[in-house]
Structures are given as structure tokens and as C-alpha cells.
Amino acid sequence: MEQTSQLKPYRFYIDLPKDILVDEVNKLSREELIEWLSWNDPNGIYRDEDSFDELGNVMSLKEGREIMIRQISEGQGIKD
């Protein structure tokens, strides 16, 4: 897996203001999003093989970004 950006420590994203969070999440590759989401929600279905087996499809980059932002925002009590 080639990484296009340097993945920051997982907790880094949780403490960011929403506007900066969105900018940082948009810099992540799909693979980096999958790694973060799997760390943050170990019971979730994010990895391609698991997702295809369970849901019949895989998560897009856009979906991954939306999920990550939603999970962090909900954890911080931020509402859109």
C-alpha cells in the first residue's frame, strides 16, 4: 500500500475544530480512512473484503470521508 499522505496519530483527528477536521480528512487516501475507521470502530465493516462479503460492495473515498467526519463530530457533540 502506497501512502500519499503521512497519517497522523489516530487521536489527532478527534480534537480538531470541524473546519480543520474536514480539510485534514480530505487529504487522506481511501486506505488511510479505512485504517482510521477500523481503529475508531473495530466492530464496523470498512475493509474491502469484509464489506464485500457482508454488504456486497466496498466503501468509496467519499463515503469514508463522510463516515469519519460524522463519527468524530458525533463524539464531540457537534451538530451540522
Q: Helix crossing, 61-76 with 18-26: angle to 10°?
A: 160
pLDDT for res 12: 77
Handedness of CA 5, 54, 71, 40 (dihedral sign): negative
Q: Would you give per-residue pLDDT tens digits along the chain (80 residues)?
A: 444 456 667 777 888 898 999 999 999 999 999 999 999 999 999 999 999 999 999 999 999 999 999 999 887 665 55
pLDDT for res 75: 77
pLDDT for res 74: 85
pTM of the model: 0.79
Contact criterion met (CB below 8 Å) for 72 and 14: yes
